């Protein structure tokens, strides 16, 4: 593990080529997607994938999402039942990850799937990300580019402050448009929601023509432990105002030191969420109050992340 600063590349053809080369050669590179920045590694290279876990301080049993440039590349790695084809056709590229049976000859590092016979895979909707994936020519395993248990990065500066010299290269593509991680749906059998995220569950259900089954106990995404996405301060939810010593993160008319969306727009709130949690860390906020966010559309995923931010902290086993 080095402590040299990462090389930060601008969002142009040379930057894409440089980051793709780092990935091909087995290095770690962070790149923007529409959801959050990913910490990428060649998914076929055991050493590179192991370096991802090391850089994040992540427990190795937690499998990673593999990123590919299009559905054809996905089909080389996984079997796609009808429901998966329907969802991929409707939402790829986009903030949807599908968990699918991995092909035995996919050639992936066993660390990527943490030994499961399923693979989480997605096609990101970000032109730079897809250019990098095409130029790299390999499937890219990429968890969010933050230290395990900390807030996901939505800017290159967040990556620098979280991972610093543990990543060789960062492509700076500006802030992420969605700002929440992808929605994860398992299509191994009946479609199940494993993680609420940047694609509202209602959109998925509409395209499938059926409600999603809840993930029963034991079939949750392994990364979904309760303490996650945590700023350093203690978090109190559904606050209408700030108590003494608290910094209020507002929403809509419940205004605070920061406001996720003064107009009460959930898309804007999602895009701001992680950046504002980072800002609360920078402000050294010890006690954080968060305004209520309605449980509709992207509000479901926003509240999921906020609940994790407010959960009693794990230390050794918080992941992500
Ligand atoms: O938006 C995103 O999904 C971002 C960007 C970079 O693409 N990536 C991301 O990756 O959030 P990560 O590693 O932080 O979260 C991956 C989640 C974890 O909760 C993990 O447990 C789950 O996906 N997962 C991965 N493979 C799985 C599998 N085979 N079955 C069930 N869950 C899986
Ligand atoms: Mg994560």
User: Quick check: CB of 119 below 6 Å from ligand 1?
Assistant: yes
Quick one: pLDDT band at residue 260, thresholds 50, 70, 90?
A: very high
User: Quick check: CB of 270 below 6 Å from ligand 1?
Assistant: no
Going from the Cα of 236 to the center of ligand 1, the distance in angstroms, rounded, reads 26
User: Which bound ligand lies closest to the C-alpha atom of 37?
Assistant: 1
Closest CA to 233 of 162, 180, 282: 282
pLDDT, tens digit, for every residue of 222-243? 555 555 568 899 999 999 999 9
User: Quick check: CB of 170 below 6 Å from ligand 1?
Assistant: no
pLDDT, tens digit, for every residue of 37-83? 999 999 999 889 888 988 988 765 688 999 999 999 999 999 999 99
pLDDT, tens digit, for every residue of 308-320? 889 877 543 334 5
Q: Give the number of the atom of ligand 1 that is nearest the alpha carbon of residue 222.
A: 21
Our mutation pick for probing the ligand 1 site, out of 181, 199, 229, 308, counting the most ligand atoms within 8 A of Cβ, is 181
pLDDT, tens digit, for every residue of 97-152? 999 999 989 999 988 987 788 999 999 999 999 999 999 999 999 999 999 889 99
Going from the Cα of 182 to the center of ligand 1, the distance in angstroms, rounded, reads 8
Rounded CA-CA distance 35/274 in Å is: 11
């Amino acid at each position: 593990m080095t402590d040299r600063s990462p090389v930060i590349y601008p969002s142009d053809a040379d930057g894409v080529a440089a980051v793709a080369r780092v990935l091909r050669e087995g290095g770690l590179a962070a790149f923007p997607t529409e959801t959050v920045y990913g910490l990428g590694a060649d998914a076929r290279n055991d050493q590179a994938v192991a370096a991802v876990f090391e850089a994040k301080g992540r427990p190795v049993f937690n499998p990673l999402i593999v990123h590919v440039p299009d559905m054809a590349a996905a089909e080389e790695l996984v079997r796609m039942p009808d429901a998966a084809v329907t969802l991929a056709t409707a939402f790829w590229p986009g903030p949807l990850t599908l968990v699918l049976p991995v092909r035995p000859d996919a050639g992936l590092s066993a660390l990527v799937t943490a030994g499961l016979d399923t693979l989480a895979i997605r096609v990101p909707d970000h032109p730079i990300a897809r250019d990098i994936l095409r130029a790299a020519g390999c499937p890219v395993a990429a968890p969010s580019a933050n230290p395990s248990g900390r807030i996901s990065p939505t800017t290159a500066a967040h990556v620098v402050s979280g991972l610093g010299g543990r990543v060789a290269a960062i492509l700076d593509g500006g802030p992420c448009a969605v700002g929440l991680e992808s929605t994860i749906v398992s299509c191994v059998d009946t479609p199940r929601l494993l993680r609420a995220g940047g694609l509202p569950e209602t959109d998925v259900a509409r395209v499938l023509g059926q409600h999603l089954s809840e993930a029963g106990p034991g079939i949750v995404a392994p990364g979904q432990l309760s303490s996650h996405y945590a700023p350093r301060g203690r978090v109190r939810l559904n606050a209408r105002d700030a108590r003494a010593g608290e910094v209020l993160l507002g929403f809509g008319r419940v205004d605070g030191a920061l406001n996720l969306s003064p107009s009460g727009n959930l898309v804007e709130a999602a895009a701001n969420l992680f950046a504002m949690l980072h800002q609360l860390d920078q402000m050294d906020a010890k006690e954080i109050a968060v305004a209520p966010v309605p449980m509709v559309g992207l509000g479901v995923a926003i509240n999921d992340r906020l609940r994790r931010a407010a959960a009693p902290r794990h230390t050794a086993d918080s992941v992500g």
